[in-house]
Amino acid sequence: MLKVLKAGFYTTIQDRGRFNYRNMGVPVSGTMDQVASTYVNQLLENDATAACLEITMTGPTLVFEEDTYICMGGAKLETTLNNVPVQLYKIYKIVAGDILSYGKLENGFRNYLAVKGGFQTEFVLGSRSFYKPLTSLNRLKDHMEIPYITTPSFESKLQELQMESLFSESVLTVSKGPEYEQLTGKQLKQLFSKEFTIAKENNRMAYQLEEFIEGHEISMLTSATLPGTVQLTSEGKIIILMRDGQTTGGYSRILQLSKKAISILAQKKYGDQISLKLIEV
Amino acid sequence: MSDFPISIKPFGSNAILIEWPKQVSTEILEDILSFTDALKAKLSSLKEWETISAYNSLTLISKEQPISFSSLEKQLKQWYLEKTNSDTSTKVLWRLPVCYDPVFGIDIAEVANHLKMSEETLIKQHTQKPYTIYGIGFLPGFMYLGGLPKSLEIARRSIPRLKVEKGAVGLAGKQTGIYPQQSPGGWNIIGNCPIPIFDIEESPPCFVKVGDQVQFYQVSMGEYDLRKIEANVGIFKLQKTILDA
């Protein structure tokens, strides 16, 4: 078991996502920064579907009760293993009783902690990703325990990875969304010439942007939305749906973030700046 | 059944959107369902795909592999032309109990007053005819229902509530529906349905599907409690009628 001494600000279990239920209104969920979570699982030679911890802004304090191997990636937080600083994208051997403590956030917003074999929390509709009320919890609680498989020894092909950080990137590549053609010249200019600021309203469901662009009066019938769908409300507010975003919506879908752009955005927090760049699909 | 002019648009690297004329109509819904059916036979590895249909659109999502838009677009147009309009899926009319007591229907008095009718008339009109499910989205198991009588159309509340109860039955614009779980929401709440629409213990977790119909019937507070207990222990028998194709 992994004992959670302190859960941190918003820590969840996430895997690649919950597929096949979107036609029943179930969001796909899964890790927000799939680039980072894929690398930490690959280093540990886990299945692509292995579940890891997604740690947001303020990290937890954790005690490992069985031997295993771990790897962290994504956001950089001051992190120590038994009071010794640890690095990202590097495998660490864990002995029963080891304590992993997260400290101050240095860069990015979401950190991923993977364990050899993946965390073994409840499996609901094909995924362990937290999404209440499908899963009983929406985030970790202090003093809870998370099961994992004991791994006394493991010879990894790679011990560590030199990763280029996505944090310095602030340009989100987008393709045209289904309602792109409805945008006016003025709206297009505002979208692609300005910098935008991440609003307070940002979470696993959606990121809102502080600056508005010109509004519109075009209504549409409710239709499918995806992670990375950029919506424009009639008042001109921009909402970017993320992994827990609803499966359908009634706001104009003006743009669609690339997969990499979703990972870049997942590492942004309130007050950070981004800009949009149009590419062909 | 006639064919419609459809348009096909890219939707990111992994999805493609097929749109029918912008109307809420059962003919379009039937056409989307029969095309979805045809695609299930055509897309050989359907395991790799998810579909979301709503009102006048069908979205195909490739779970892993990016799609090639131009070749898939051509293929889809061809398949649409070849389609035989035989929707083989069975459609069901579900009858769902709703308690309109003001304990649940917290806005019913206000709504009736606004619509200039008695609460009895409101309930009668709300339960009179089946509604068609045009889509499921927003929340797991949330049905977009069409066919609300014009006399029951009322604007959504100006200030949304932070908490609407699970099972709450609401009215907003041309729509009526059930909140399948506790959630924030701006609909006018006129009752509550004791039967969970989405349940992870069931397979499939959501018993309704797009194209099915739903008709509400009024139950007393006592019957509501009984149905709720029955649903919780899994012995509630849903009233269903298979609809002719």
Interval A153-182: pLDDT, tens: 999 999 999 887 778 899 999 999 999 999
Euclidean distance between CA atoms B17 and B109, whole angstroms: 42
Query: Are A226 and B200 in contact (CB < 8 Å)?
Result: no
The pLDDT of residue B87: 63
Chain A CB within 8 Å of residue B234 CB: no
The pLDDT of residue A163: 81
Residue contacts between A and B (CB atoms, under 8 Å): 112
Residues 178-197 of B with CB under 8 A from A: 180-182
**Over 80: is that where the pLDDT of B53 sits?**
yes
Query: What does the block give as tokens for B19?
Result: 């749109």
**Over 70: is that where the pLDDT of A198 sits?**
yes
The mean predicted confidence, pLDDT, of chain A is 96
Tell me the pLDDT band of B1, cut-offs 50, 70 and 90: very low
Chain A nearest C-alpha distance from B183 (Å): 11
**C-alpha closest to that of B137 among B206, B85, B74:** B206
CB A48 within 8 A of CB B167: no
The pLDDT of residue B159: 86
DSSP code for B43: S
| Position with higher pLDDT, A68 vs A218 | A68
- pLDDT (mean) for B93-110: 97
Question: Which of A72-81, A211-220, B45-54 bottoms out in mean pLDDT, i.e. has the lowest?
Answer: B45-54
* pTM exceeds 0.80: yes
| Position with higher pLDDT, A196 vs B90 | A196
| Position with higher pLDDT, A167 vs A279 | A279
Top residue of A23, A132, A222 to mutate, by most chain B CBs within 10 Å, is A23
Q: Is B190 exposed, middle or buried (0-12, 13-18, 19+ CB in 10 A)?
A: buried
Question: Which residue is closest to B166 within chain A, CA to CA?
Answer: A133
Tell me the pLDDT band of A117, cut-offs 50, 70 and 90: very high
A124: which chain B residues are within 8 Å (Cβ-Cβ)?
200
Q: What is the pLDDT of residues A9-60, one digit of tens each?
A: 999 999 999 999 999 999 999 999 999 999 999 999 999 999 999 999 999 9
Euclidean distance between CA atoms A19 and A125, whole angstroms: 8
CB B154 within 8 A of CB B188: yes
B7: which chain A residues are within 8 Å (Cβ-Cβ)?
none
